Amino acid sequence: MKWTKTLIQTLRDNPQDAEIDSHKLLMRAGICRKTAAGLFTFMPLGMRSLKKIEQIVREEMDAAGASEILMPALQPSELWRKTGRWDAMGANMFRLKDRAERDMAMGPTAEEEVTDLMTNIISSYRQLPLNVYQIQTKFRDETRPRFGLMRSKEFIMKDGYSFDVDAEAADKTYWTMYRAYERIFARCGLKATPVQADGGDMGDSMTHEFHALADAGEDAIAFCDGCGYAANTEKAERVCNPVFGKVDAPVEEVHTPNAKTIDQVAAFMGLDGSAFVKSLVYLADGEPVMVCVPGDRDVNEVKLRRYLGAKSVTLADYALVRDVSGAGVGSVGPVKPLKADVRIVADIGLKGASGCIVGANKDDYHLKNVDLDRDAKIAGYADLVIVREGDVCAKCGKKITIRRGIEVGQVFKLGTKYTKAFNTVYKDENAAETLCVMGCYGVGVSRTLQAVIEQSHDKDGIIWPSSVAPYQVVIENLDPSVEEVTKVADELEAELVRRGVDVIVDDREERPGVKFKDADLIGFPVRVVVGAKGLAGGGVEVKRRDEDKSKTRIVPVADAAAEIVRSL
RNA sequence: CGGAGCGUAGCGCAGUCUGGUAGCGCGUUUGCUUCGGGAGCAAAAGGCCGUGGGUUCAAAUCCCACCGCUCCGACCA
């Protein structure tokens, strides 16, 4: 390919709306253009990388026993109503009506669609297991699209779905997919780490997320160096050894005017937030519950929901808080008098808490010298807060560290959640109808593209891994008007094409500096310089993008192709 | 959804406070000189100053509404 024949538009300046390096480079290197908030056009370079990532995904999925299909992105509402997700998806789903006023959705995912499909196909155990996937545009009406392709309203995802005869077979499929994902990301040149995560809306069973570790990542991941435990902080478990000494003093009321938050009360009293008990009123499936956590920590609603065995937990509104506590937000506590009798649960960090400060259930008052065992009726203790740096690992007792990651993939065990809703059954050997057990597996294809850039760039631009680079090699023809130089460049191109190398010749009439800057910015893995000066001096120059200038090799034209292939 | 900021040439920005001929850098076009790390000189093209309304002799500038974009937050008591 000749540079002047394709469309490569690089930018000198960073676009003003880009925040993180990979987003800036996406725009500057001419990979993408923004169409509107959260919507992007892939330019030829981006398209090439995207297709390479897709191809890697295809090869690994196929090798793992899955078959590619393509389902509509436009989905009828009936499918979503069957599982209750038409309502549950809320504002995240793009909805529209067709001319007959039928409700439709622009698919954010396709569990319903694929399950409906398979329900009509599967009849016998002989057909199972089945594993299908598609690479398709997905739509999510994100509240806040951000960071380019990382969080956009329209994105490309590989979504795969497996149907097995039972949980054991599904488990086997799950780990097959897990290993396929490890290979996919490795082949994309991405350092992606599997971490345990919460099932969220998708089901309550086991799931791993694959995270590309990067400071710009939107998720926080808890790692234990001791045992290798890795989990999203929404899931990560900790143990706690409370360090409260017994304070045997009577409870005392303190006037704390105009102090609503823990920070404000703590500042008012000249104390640290950890001296407080934060008491929150939640609605768990409509039932009010008081949740107490150390004053300097945040409730993990996922853990809370699980502990309570509830379908949903939401923070109570102000009116309900007053109904329960008798006081307004800011003065709520677990110690009586409470206006209403509620179940009180507490974080394990409060076990044996003594000498602490709680809301008095009386506006603008707190209580000090509170001993939870003595003064409150806690129904149970559990790990209910979001882990943070320095917490103690629940598996091995070592310290947890927190790092940030970009979620590029996820594998789920779905169980029978969807097959039950659609009655996806097969007949077993005894002709008994049995529900299929499902799994689902997603790769954020466009997000992976950006994650690669986020993990692999320097001050001059992108450093593409060879496997997903738009072109593996750029031949810089420094003197396109000199016939001999152009001949060498073009012949080298032809030779590389013969050897199966993806190559582009920069044949622009530009000054060398401009061409070098662009080559570095776009980040072709190998750069070959062909110029009149170099040819006179004995050959062409070969340099890898990730090498320093001092590593440049001068090789005779005859050996160039071999040297380039070696450099890849 | 709440708060803040922004919207002027393809890109990055100044000008807005204090109303009076729409500017700068990059990019683009042409010419000459340059030519191994984003060249120099000269000339040129390119703007409904986000949209609509209002105030005024006069609006990029002041007022109102709307649209779009970006950031922060979204109830942790």
- Per-residue pLDDT tens for A365-380? 999 999 999 999 999 9
- Per-residue pLDDT tens for A30-68? 999 998 889 999 999 999 999 999 999 999 999 999 999
Residue A297 has pLDDT above 60, yes or no: yes
A340 touches strand B (CB under 7 A): no
Residue A343 has pLDDT above 90, yes or no: yes
> Can you tell me the distance from the alpha carbon of A261 to that of A362, in angstroms, rounded to the nearest whole number?
15
A551 touches strand B (CB under 7 A): no
Residue A202 has pLDDT above 60, yes or no: no
User: What mean pLDDT comes out for the span A334-356?
Assistant: 91
Q: Which CATH architecture has domain A15-74+111-236+403-453?
A: 2-Layer Sandwich (3.30)
> Can you tell me the distance from the alpha carbon of A536 to that of A518, in angstroms, rounded to the nearest whole number?
25
Protein CA at A39 to nucleotide C1' at B9, angstroms: 24
Question: Is the ipTM above a cut-off of 0.90?
Answer: yes
Residue A199 has pLDDT above 90, yes or no: no
A533 touches strand B (CB under 7 A): yes
Protein CA at A5 to nucleotide C1' at B65, angstroms: 48
> Nearest to residue A278, comparing CAs of A399, A402, A386?
A386
Q: Residue A17: its pLDDT value, please?
A: 85
In A120-215, which ranges are continuous DSSP H helix? 167-187
In A15-128, which ranges are continuous DSSP H helix? 21-28, 44-63, 77-83, 85-88, 111-119
pLDDT-based confidence at A78, cuts 50/70/90? very high
Residue A1 has pLDDT above 90, yes or no: yes
Q: Residue A201: its pLDDT value, please?
A: 52
CATH 3.40.50.800 fits A471-567, yes or no: yes
Q: Residue A200: its pLDDT value, please?
A: 60
Q: Where are the domains of chain A?
A: 15-74+111-236+403-453, 252-382, 471-567
A264 touches strand B (CB under 7 A): no
Q: Residue A165: its pLDDT value, please?
A: 97
Percent of chain A scored above 70 by pLDDT? 99
Closest nucleotide relative to residue A148's CA, C1' based: B70
- Per-residue pLDDT tens for A85-114? 998 888 889 999 999 999 999 999 999 999
> Can you tell me the distance from the alpha carbon of A325 to that of A362, in angstroms, rounded to the nearest whole number?
8
A526 touches strand B (CB under 7 A): no
Q: Give pTM, 2 decimals.
A: 0.93
Q: Residue A53: its pLDDT value, please?
A: 98
- Measuring alpha carbon to C1', the residue closest to nucleotide B70 is A17
Q: Pick out residues 343-362 of chain A having their CB under 7 A from any atom of nucleic acid strand B.
A: 359
Q: Pick out residues 139-168 of chain A having their CB under 7 A from any atom of nucleic acid strand B.
A: 143-147
Q: Residue A188: its pLDDT value, please?
A: 98
Instruction: Identify residue A410 by its one-letter amino acid code.
Output: Q
Bases on strand B under 7 Å from any protein CB: 1, 11-13, 25-27, 34-39, 68-77
Instruction: Identify residue A204 by its one-letter amino acid code.
Output: D
**Token digits of residue A55:** 């191809």
Protein CA at A486 to nucleotide C1' at B35, angstroms: 17
Q: Residue A429: its pLDDT value, please?
A: 95
A332 touches strand B (CB under 7 A): yes
Q: Residue A7: its pLDDT value, please?
A: 94
Q: Residue A144: its pLDDT value, please?
A: 85
CA distances from A527 to A57, A461, A520, A560 (A): 27, 14, 9, 12
Residue A447 has pLDDT above 60, yes or no: yes
Residue A203 has pLDDT above 60, yes or no: no
Q: Residue A205: its pLDDT value, please?
A: 67
Residue A271 has pLDDT above 90, yes or no: no
> Can you tell me the distance from the alpha carbon of A62 to that of A56, in angstroms, rounded to the nearest whole number?
10
> Can you tell me the distance from the alpha carbon of A454 to that of A445, in angstroms, rounded to the nearest whole number?
14
A459 touches strand B (CB under 7 A): no
Protein CA at A563 to nucleotide C1' at B63, angstroms: 70
Mean residue pLDDT of chain A comes to 92
Helix/strand/coil percentages in chain A, nearest 5: 30, 30, 35
pLDDT-based confidence at A213, cuts 50/70/90? very high
A304 touches strand B (CB under 7 A): no
pLDDT-based confidence at A317, cuts 50/70/90? confident
Which CATH number is associated with domain A252-382? 3.90.960.10
Protein CA at A506 to nucleotide C1' at B33, angstroms: 24
Pairing outcome for strands A207-213 and A356-359: unpaired
A296 touches strand B (CB under 7 A): no
Protein CA at A316 to nucleotide C1' at B76, angstroms: 11
